[in-house]
Amino acid sequence: MSDRQESVVRIACIQMEPSVGEKDKNVAKSLEMIERAADQGARLVVLPELCASGYVFRTREEAFALAEAVPGGPTSAAWSTLATRRGLYIVAGIAELAGNALYNSSVVLGPRGYIGTFRKMHLWNEENLFFEPGDLGFPVFKTAIGRIGTFICYDGWFPESFRLCALQGADIICVPTNWVPIPGQAKGREAMANILAMAGAHSNSVFVAAADRVGIERGQPFVGQSVIVSYTGWPIGGPASPDAEEIIYADANLADAR
């Protein structure tokens, strides 16, 4: 375990409730919550999957209308401006329009602007009606605070997602997510995804920061319980509430990842 304090990063996972189709409202809420996290000393902020657009689309036309270029679109530009002003790194879920293709993406931004993009590899359920499978692999981005990997929600059900990031030297994996209830889950039991995040962190010796959403959208409930996990596999932030908006924090010495 390292005692080098320059490797300690305050991480914030923002658990919020987007409203499908209300992009301006969602982005404004995300910016306000990022500001709150920065006021508490956060350097790395993770937001949920598709947090600007909402998740449960009715039609392809609706999904495409809510998507935008990454980078260059208004949402990633707003997040990037805030990251520059506050000296932050931000990982956030967004509907990405690339030519005639739509991707469920995670954008990585830093104090100097756009860093990179991940496109969700493992599409879940009706996501296949709207999105193309990711075509960028599992990139790991070298930054001043450490090596950042990212994937999205259902990707975390597959051990290779964690492993491919770890093999590239990731110190932390940031997971924008929209976790839903798992059939057979006992009342009061932690989310299945939390267990998978803990296992992935432990077996690959990486930190994991997963930001989930809450609420019910067009009949689909979400389970919250955002969590920040140490490289040991034990949570060091959260789990958050299953049904309330909140921000969870953890101070992580990223030099401890192996």
Question: Containing H/E element for 245?
Answer: none
Cβ partners under 8 Å of residue 43, min gap 6: 9, 10, 11, 87, 88, 89, 145
The reply to whether 153 belongs to the active site is: yes
Instruction: Give the active site residue among 153, 165, 174, 217.
Output: 153
The amino acid present at 179, given as its one-letter code, is W
Cβ partners under 8 Å of residue 101, min gap 6: 132
Instruction: Give the active site residue among 49, 68, 96, 127.
Output: 49
The amino acid present at 199, given as its one-letter code, is A
The reply to whether 174 belongs to the active site is: no
Instruction: Give the active site residue among 23, 68, 120, 127.
Output: 120
Q: Are strands 172-176 and 146-150 parallel, antiparallel or unpaired?
A: parallel
Please give the Cα distance from 184 to 233 (Å, whole number). 24
How many Cβ atoms from other residues are within 10 Å of residue 61's Cβ? 9
Would you name the residues annotated as active-site residues?
49, 120, 153
